[in-house]
Amino acid sequence: MGKITEIFRYFGPEYMEKYPNMPQQHRKVINAIIHCRSGEYGAAFYQCEGCGKRHRVDRSCGNRHCPQCQYHKTRGWLETQLKKALCVQHSMLTFTMPSKIRAFCRANQKAAYGAMFKASSGSIKALVKDPKFIGTDLPGFTGVLHTWGRQLPYHPHIHYIIPAGGLSNDRKKWIAARNSFYLPVRALSKLYKAKFKAEMAKLGLMDKIDPSVWTVDWIVNYQAVGSSEASLKYLAPYVFRVAISDNRILAVNGRTVTFCYRKTGSRRIRKISLDVLVFISRFLQHVLPAGFMKVRHYGFMNANCAITIEKIRRMIMTCFRDLSLILSDKVMESISVIPQEQFCSSCGGRLIYLFSVIPGRPG
């Protein structure tokens, strides 16, 4: 049992009793973490192909905010995305929200998060059309919403991984980015703010936002992340990561939780200690609205795009006409993630799945 699960099992009931009017989604997350791999959701049974011993593995809750359930999802997502990998350089753009508007976002999560995606993706699509940068109306990129900082404060932002280029208007050629920085962040910031403001006006929420928000700079950060494989492996942990992982929990002493973090730009490890109920509260403020899609694919990265990744790869090879690039593309197609297997704790043999027993269903 992980440390975070242990915290929720011991103190989750107390938290629910103290805050009976909490959002229903928070209550669901607490119950899911408490009962994850406890037998409440049933069990899967395996048999070792070596010694024949049978093993029972309690089923997980599957909740996307549960720290025990994210590892396998991350591996599966990475394997799927690597099949769509492109042999070009990639950038990461991060769209943040000013501190003055974060309280509004927290109180209006579904509207705010949806507007963040719409405004940020729209800003990218608008600027890539400019021939000074790329000159394409069909870029491709993937966005992931995060809502936390390193000390678990509420800090909503979206990371985008973007291949450095796009398709020509006739969809027959690859157009490489003309700048190493992909797009100018100052122009993106201004456009992002304007589009978000327009979306709030459309939703009739302007009166709930401090007017001074529109007078401050909105920050967009740029980072070069290299090849497609490197960028996807960088992004994958962000996709299914919860607000804090077990390996950052240093100690749980009585009612105090101590965890480590690093400040941005620093390698020095720092510590912070919180009352256990404050820790749970900080964790729960990052629970997303039910059904909200935190990962979104745009342009030619979208599954509904009529142009296949194989065709785009051929366009890239034609564009660069570089043997080393062609060879690296062939290697890229063979990259995969080794499936995670179960092994016998007695002899180390591979476990063969037999059957599952799920509550409410016949065994």
DSSP string, 136-175: -SB-EEEEEEEEE-TT--EEEEEEEEEESEEE-TTSSSEE
The confidence score (pLDDT) of residue 181 equals 73
Judge whether 41 lies within some domain: no
The confidence score (pLDDT) of residue 360 equals 64
Judge whether 46 lies within some domain: no
pTM for the full predicted model: 0.84
Encode burial over 246-271: b for 16+ CB neighbours within 10 A, e otherwise: eeebeebeeeebebeeeeeeeeeeee
CA 297 – CA 304 distance, rounded (Å): 10
Judge whether 150 lies within some domain: yes
* Residue ranges of the chain whose pLDDT lies below 70: 1, 70-75, 228, 230-231, 233-241, 322-341, 360-363
Read off the CATH number of the domain in which 320 is found.
Answer: 3.40.1310.20
Judge whether 339 lies within some domain: no
Judge whether 358 lies within some domain: no
The confidence score (pLDDT) of residue 340 equals 57
The confidence score (pLDDT) of residue 270 equals 93
Judge whether 62 lies within some domain: no
Angle at 97 between CA 143 and CA 190, to 5 degrees: 85
Looking at the 3D structure of the chain, how many domains does it have?
Answer: 1
Note down the domain range covering 225.
Answer: 72-243+286-333
Judge whether 193 lies within some domain: yes
Structure tokens at 85: 């990998």
**Among positive and negative, which fits the CA dihedral 62, 66, 68, 69?**
positive
